[in-house]
Structure 1
Amino acid sequence: MDLIGPPNQEDCCNSGCNPCIFDVYEEKLRKIKLGQHNLKMLKNCISDTSYSTFRVITKLKHTENSFLIIFEYSGQSQSDDLNLYFEPGQHFLMKSSLKSTSESFTRAYTPLLSDNLGRLQFRILVKLYEGGMMSKIINKLNIGSETLWRGPYGDFKISYDFRDVLMIAQGTGIAPIYSVIIKMVNDENFEGFIKLFYCCNEIFLHDEIYELKKYWNFDYEVFLGGSKKGFCKYNEIVHENRLGETQIGEFLKNKSENVQVLICGGENFSGCIKNYLKSVQDKNIFVF
């Protein structure tokens, strides 16, 4: 991928994307001048400064209102040294149209770590919202449909310096959290413990999360907030009530100061959790 050439003017959809493709380009130029640019991105089939084409190869119904979709790079270059790079917890931006129009917009989706994908493929969890503009587009995607993506974005870096890691996710916010968990429990450098509090109306990635129970250093609890859309698997803790300060406080009170907290959910949810945490632990908190 060309990291030096500027984005085309039509690559900007003028919808207030965060990050804007031109802001990313300027920041990348700055890092190149400082010698901080990661050269492996030269072989990445997705770029954070231009759009790449990916076609749908699998679209599976996941829950009543969600899909698991696998995309594969279908750009002009298919060289053997081309790969798809992203760090756990990072996200891509999908553009609403293959054409350059004033009505184009983007939405962020987190690629899920998976061992059974091809080197130029990624998988995402998508929840459909009634009346959602991108939901209408996603719903119409078929096998072979072409889509435009750019990325990856996000500055989270996994650290193995913590004895305990508390992860709090809401709804589809489980996607980046799940990928981070996968990376950590499979890394022999990580000797700590992970606790997941998952808040949802329906349990996304239920089978995948349950499979993680085989790791000695991972445990989780699900909080359905009064919903009946979940069910308990063997030896699984599922609460019908919402996650409250009591459960978080109980977890933290017996821990040392060497605790990291990761949060991913809606803006109000993440803000409330972060505000409470600051009253009991004012550092080592990261919000996706």
Structure 2
Amino acid sequence: MLATSMWTSYLIELLPDDMVKTYAKYGWQTSELSDEHAHDILKRGKPAAAGKDFRRFAADLGMSFPQGHFLLATKGIRPEDMEGRSIADIAPEDDSAFAAMMDTMKNWVELFAAIGIKAGVLHCGGQAMIAKGRDMNQVFQRRCQAVATVADFAAGSGLNICLENLFMDGTRQCSELLAIINEIKRPNVGICLDTGHANARQVDVPAFIREAGSHLQALHIADNLGQNDDHMLPFGRGTVPWLKVMPALREVGYSGLFNFEVPGENCCPMPIRLAKFSYAKTLAEHMLQL
């Protein structure tokens, strides 16, 4: 059976150590480390040392982080991080900005490798170039350069780079992510399927899974009403066809985390959120038996 997971931003208010303690208390043994908690850990010192210390701390409580999300923003979400915080773009057009971003990504790769993360979820960038109206072939080439560089940083570490399907041009369909993978020819680059993103853009989720095949190495499991990224738990009001999704995952031999990413569920008082936390683990276990 696949390992169940809830990405750590579900308890975003908690600092990493308290987050781990709470996850362990509620029976979660594996999780995707969120961008916000990774930023917190990077403040502790050199990435490799800070990552190893966090990995040991989590292991002592029976937890591990086989999956992690690379930076979504340039800083974390604590009060001291707010000034100058902006959305991260790993594929900027300016060469000096590109070099600076690759230096940042090298630190993140070192951190993730030290924590023991096997699947690092990555947004392949290019949003600023698209906003400027750049030709999509230029955007594609810059994305390929960025992803290849990050993959080379991770080579030999056991960390795979997993490109996530998004709403931006060139990132919605599985075929578009496969085009990057086929262009750069790095064996440690795969795909993260976000079921909510796919469903909100009318992408056939089971077909996406089958097209990805062995390249599918990470999941963001979420539901929505088919228009917006509502980030709901499955089997509520959402329209993702879970009874077709689960057989497709088995068909391709997916072996990564069965990982919930559902910020639409944590807008409630903490006692209710923790009750949902327990329910989500039971829900995941039942879904894996479908």
Common topology (TM > 0.5): no
Structure holding more helix per residue: 2
Larger Rg: 1
TM superposition score normalised by structure 1: 0.30
